[in-house]
Structure 1
Amino acid sequence: MSGEVAQLKHEGSQLQVVAAGAVAGLVSRFVIAPLDVIKIRLQLQVHSLSDPLSTRGVQGPTYKGTIGTLRSIVRDEGFTGLWKGNVPAELMYLCYGGVQFSTYKYTSNLLETLPSPYELPGSAVSFISGATAGACATTATYPLDLLRTRFAAQGTERVYTSLGASIRHIAKHEGPTGFFRGLGAGVSQIVPYMGLFFASYEGLKPAMANSPLALPFGGSDAFAGIIASVCAKTAVYPLDTTRKRLQVQGPMRSKFVHRNIPLYSGVMSTLVTISKREGMRGLYRGLTVSLLKAAPAASVTMWTYERAMAGMLMLEDRLAAD
């Protein structure tokens, strides 16, 4: 490829975009899995350190920050506890990456063909394409996201013995809708997040590529991905916390590592309840580790995507030349 930075949506065929997106999702998920488990544990903690909150008379475990949570998990559950829920998460990221990037490419190309006077500016195309890609990918992979959260919420007591057992249990006791608890919060979060992320990324990537300064984290693609992800993540974080609280509702709620998770129903009701009981800090619990996760996740995802795509295009050119 030339030294010029190609726009994400113009690179490769639809199949190549799906493959590169899937590879990027798999690699990114494995790298950030421990941070994801820590984030989920903090988000599900319903009592603060200064003012413990008891629900149903049960005092849940208290994690003291990112490092404290890391130490507690390793001490009580072993090093492998940091990768709890990684199997459904890897499956989710595999599917999510493919759906996300292919939908983004298809939508952006479609919007760019709009005739005059309906054509949209580049930033609007990126925002709409990113939001559409996020909504489609979130909905398509949501059951796996829910399973990932429930496995990550398991402490020393095994709530579900296996992935298959968890699927059968949820289907039997909660029905098909049980796999989509919190989907409203997920879509409400991902639409603005992915819209802001892709719009920021597409705008930052050319500027970062032409920067006279040496950039950290592997270059312009990764650095642009970090900035875009951190800004978008902070803006929509309360909805992420809401989604996690809703995902662990159901008959097994009292058996997860935090045994005092309150009963929630509905996105707005959950937001209001958390705000009243735990304050605004409750909505942003785990934000620090989430941002720590967002940076390497975004940089690894975009860096891997660009390199996987470049490799496939190079292979395609070599095969065509033979």
Structure 2
Amino acid sequence: MSGAVAHLRDEGSPRQVVLAGAISGLVSRFVIAPLDVIKIRLQLQVHSLSDPLSTYNIQGPVYKGTLSTLKHILREEGLTGLWKGNIPAEAMYLAYGSVQFSAYTYMSHLLDAIPQPYHPPGSVISFISGAAAGACGTTATYPLDLLRTRFAAQGRDRVYASIVSSIRHIAEHEGPAGFFRGLGAGVSQIVPYMGLFFASYEALKPVLATCAIPMPFGTSDAAAGVIASVLSKTAVYPLDTTRKRLQVQGPTRSRYVHRNIPEYRGVTRTLINIWKNEGRRGMYRGLTVSLLKAAPASAVTMWTYERVMAAMLTMEKTLSEE
């Protein structure tokens, strides 16, 4: 392994990739859980203080900014309110991290095997592999993502008493399709997001690792993750908002902390509806806290993944030399 400048696709065995991906997912989720809850609350809000009755003429809770939302949740729901939906989210991040990095490595190796003169450039390999990894990870873990969103959207009045009851309720009242509400928006958002993220990360990683100012403890990996995350998240954010709005549709739509979530159908209709009634601000509501969440999440994920992988490779090498 060539230190911090090795490509992700060249690191570790399939089993090591799965384990490193799972651990990085668990660690990053716990760190960013409060910011995730704040982001979801802001994304589901269809009005602001400048428009208290909202374009839908329905009263409901009003949050203004990240700090205001944080204070409101702490005051109304206590500290545990910032970790609502964390159990399905931890399960989701564990599975997602494993699937994502495994799919990325597998697809990269497939594309690397394409002979000349058809062999694609490294940036193209990273983009396609990242897009495929995002699509696989999102589809495989989507029901957990939906549960995470619905629990995070609950206020003091609980919609679901437990994970088990939520699964039973959705299965009974919405059927199997209920677990995949908004999947189209999720996949259409994650494909360009993860493609841009991995392409940016792979390009930035060697540059930051060899920059004039040395970064301790492998933090060049974290820095590359932060920059790649900010660029890609901003580009696809409207689709993320669309996914959240679709995830809370169904018979419990009016029971969440926001009582005025409109009824949406389909990705395109939802995008048009938000743009028409809420404008550009509605499309990007919660972007600030999303970046505050995505940047450290990506930094922790990539730093943890690289450190765990390095530790496993070192251990493997030590054992082979004994």
Q: Do both share a fold (TM > 0.5)?
A: yes
User: Do the aligned partners of 1:215 and 1:223 also contact (CA within 8 Å) in 2?
Assistant: no
- Classify the secondary structure of the residue corresponding to 2:5: coil
Q: Which residue of 1 aligns with 2:124?
A: 124
- Classify the secondary structure of the residue corresponding to 2:285: coil
Q: Quick check: 1:281 aligned with 2:253?
A: no
- 1:8-157 alignment to 2 at 5 Å? 8-54=8-54, 58-157=58-157
Note the alpha carbon deviations across 1:142-180, whole angstroms, 9 max, x for none.
000000000000000010000000000000000000000
Change (3 A) 1:80 1:217: farther
TM-score by length of 2: 0.97
- Classify the secondary structure of the residue corresponding to 1:219: helix
Give the aligned CA root-mean-square deviation in angstroms. 1.4
2:281 counterpart letter in structure 1: R
CA drift of 1:57 comes to 5.7
Change (3 A) 1:53 1:280: farther
1:226 counterpart letter in structure 2: V
CA drift of 1:58 comes to 3.5
Deviates more, 1:56-65 or 1:296-305: 56-65
Change (3 A) 1:247 1:28: same
| Alpha-carbon distance in 2 for matches of 1:56, 1:3 | 55
| Alpha-carbon distance in 1 for matches of 2:154, 2:217 | 33
Gaps of 5+ in 2: none
CA drift of 1:6 comes to 1.3
CA drift of 1:321 comes to 1.9
- Classify the secondary structure of the residue corresponding to 1:257: coil
- Classify the secondary structure of the residue corresponding to 1:262: coil
2:60 counterpart letter in structure 1: G
| Alpha-carbon distance in 2 for matches of 1:3, 1:98 | 22
Change (3 A) 1:6 1:175: same
User: Do the aligned partners of 1:103 and 1:129 also contact (CA within 8 Å) in 2?
Assistant: yes
Note the alpha carbon deviations across 1:204-257, whole angstroms, 9 max, x for none.
000000101144896210000100000000000000000000000000000000
| Alpha-carbon distance in 2 for matches of 1:87, 1:144 | 9
1:86 counterpart letter in structure 2: N
Q: Which residue of 1 aligns with 2:160?
A: 160
| Alpha-carbon distance in 1 for matches of 2:36, 2:4 | 34
User: Do the aligned partners of 2:222 and 2:303 also contact (CA within 8 Å) in 1?
Assistant: yes
| Alpha-carbon distance in 1 for matches of 2:232, 2:158 | 34
Q: Which residue of 2 aligns with 1:259?
A: 259
Note the alpha carbon deviations across 1:243-295, whole angstroms, 9 max, x for none.
00000000000000000100000001000111111111001000000011111
**How many equivalent pairs are there?**
322
Q: Quick check: 1:317 aligned with 2:317?
A: yes
- Classify the secondary structure of the residue corresponding to 2:46: coil
Gaps of 5+ in 1: none
- Classify the secondary structure of the residue corresponding to 2:60: coil
| Alpha-carbon distance in 2 for matches of 1:3, 1:321 | 19
| Alpha-carbon distance in 2 for matches of 1:240, 1:196 | 15
Change (3 A) 1:80 1:12: same
TM-score by length of 1: 0.97
| Alpha-carbon distance in 1 for matches of 2:305, 2:43 | 29
Q: Which residue of 1 aligns with 2:293?
A: 293
| Alpha-carbon distance in 1 for matches of 2:304, 2:51 | 43
Q: Quick check: 1:209 aligned with 2:209?
A: yes
Note the alpha carbon deviations across 1:96-129, whole angstroms, 9 max, x for none.
0000000000000110001222210100000000
Change (3 A) 1:214 1:300: same
User: Do the aligned partners of 1:238 and 1:283 also contact (CA within 8 Å) in 2?
Assistant: yes
